[in-house]
Structure 1
């Protein structure tokens, strides 16, 4: 431990505080949703985690997608989240302020703001720094989702 301490500049390579007004919106965006990165490789040198925020407008929803091998956690700050998941989006759960949502690797899902009158505010965390989103076009859902896909050329179709 003593030798490592001598080699590391803890002042610059130690704990980092990212202020709420310093988040980076240079990340993938979806119509009706505004994402901002707080913790990633570019901002703090993170190697194994990504964290940020998302504000989802009333009734906005994503297309069906998964995040590859990544695990995701969503913490609901305010509003009402609805998640649909499964081969046909046949499962549904809702979450409110203070609730956590866990999305395992490769699970097809759709994120929805279930409140027609208020934005949904969440904190997002992913188990890797690389943004992996695979849109799924060939789902025959139990209830037809709105089709909204990323339009930035950054996300691949599955």
Structure 2
């Protein structure tokens, strides 16, 4: 037999909820795809929107959002310190290069996941010269960490459109 507790308390009395778990009043959140936050730094070649972060939902240990990368956009060589990143490819063709000299390469398409471990030098590339790359990005922290690596000559030079955002700074500054 189910019991409805909604009538067990007299709600006309003013009482504190401090003793109750936070999730009772601030629990699961659904962020509609058409309500993402574009109030982030936007630069040519990329459009990034936050769905889950500290400011929007109080997330403590993750950041999640979408990113649209223009055709042929490339980052410089970098790593994200202790952060782990997961990229889910919605549409388009992603190419990842990584290693001390970017000697490793892999490509991912729609439905594929890319995992970038901590401290791995890498370069992210939209491998399609004609179509944007649409991805969902999840990071293991709210803090943006990027360490540019300037002593590695990228195999694919980021000369056309830079993939630049608050995480991926322009190689020239």
Give matches, 1:77-116, under 5 Å. 77-116=90-129
The separation in 2 between residues aligned to 1:151 and 1:9, in whole angstroms, is 33
Residue 132 of structure 1 contacts residue 155 of structure 1 at CA under 8 Å; is this kept in 2?
no
Unaligned runs of 5+ in 2: 1-16
Paired residues, number: 153
TM-score normalised to the size of structure 2? 0.78
Give matches, 1:54-133, under 5 Å. 54-133=67-146
The separation in 2 between residues aligned to 1:94 and 1:154, in whole angstroms, is 20
Structure whose CA Rg is larger: 2
Cα pair distance change 1:40/1:151, threshold 3 Å: closer
Unaligned runs of 5+ in 1: none
Residue equivalent to 2:54? 41
User: Does the alignment pair 1:135 with 2:148?
Assistant: yes
| SS of aligned partner of 2:34 | helix
Give 1:124 deviation, angstroms: 0.3
Residue 74 of structure 1 contacts residue 124 of structure 1 at CA under 8 Å; is this kept in 2?
yes
Cα pair distance change 1:105/1:156, threshold 3 Å: farther
Residue equivalent to 1:18? 31
Give 1:61 deviation, angstroms: 1.1
Residue 64 of structure 2 contacts residue 136 of structure 2 at CA under 8 Å; is this kept in 1?
yes
TM-score normalised to the size of structure 1? 0.85
Structure 1 stretch 30-39 or stretch 70-79: which is displaced more? Answer: 30-39
